Amino acid sequence: MMKFDVANIDAAPGQKVTVTLTNIGTLPKAAMAHNFVLLKAGTDVTVFATAAMTHAETGYLPPEMAGNVIVATRLLGPGESDTVRFTAPAAGVYDFICSFPGHALVGMRGTLTVK
């Protein structure tokens, strides 16, 4: 399923947050991999996701938009898992997406609400 099971994460500014992503799918990694990419405020999700499509070599993280990424997991194949830790930024709403081609655009995204 091209969906995160958690669509919103709440945190307080400065709070330490741990996110573990597990790909529970069974399709091969080349066809259906997932990651968790938390984007800085003001990042256009469509622009980022579109730029990501051509960067398989970096796990679909566009080098030219590296400055827009707060934190990202590895790109995960079936059954794989990765954990990232970060400090919640200033109050606001931040998008997170899966940057595998097409996934964010069909709804594999969510928000981090910091307040």
Contact flag: residue 109 with Cu ion (CB under 5 A) = no
Among the listed residues 108, 109, 110, 114, the single contact to Cu ion using CB under 5 A: 108
| Helix %, strand %, coil % of the chain (to 5) | 15, 35, 50
Task: Label the pairing between strands 109-114 and 69-72.
Answer: unpaired
Nearer to Cu ion, 74 or 92 (CB): 74
CA 31 to chain CA centroid, nearest Å: 18
C-beta of residue 64 within 8 angstroms of C-beta of residue 89: no
> Which span sits near Cu ion by CB under 5 A: 11-19, 69-77, 80-88, 102-110?
102-110
Contact flag: residue 75 with Cu ion (CB under 5 A) = no
User: Which residues sit at the interface with Cu ion, rule CB under 5 A?
Assistant: 34, 98, 100, 103, 108
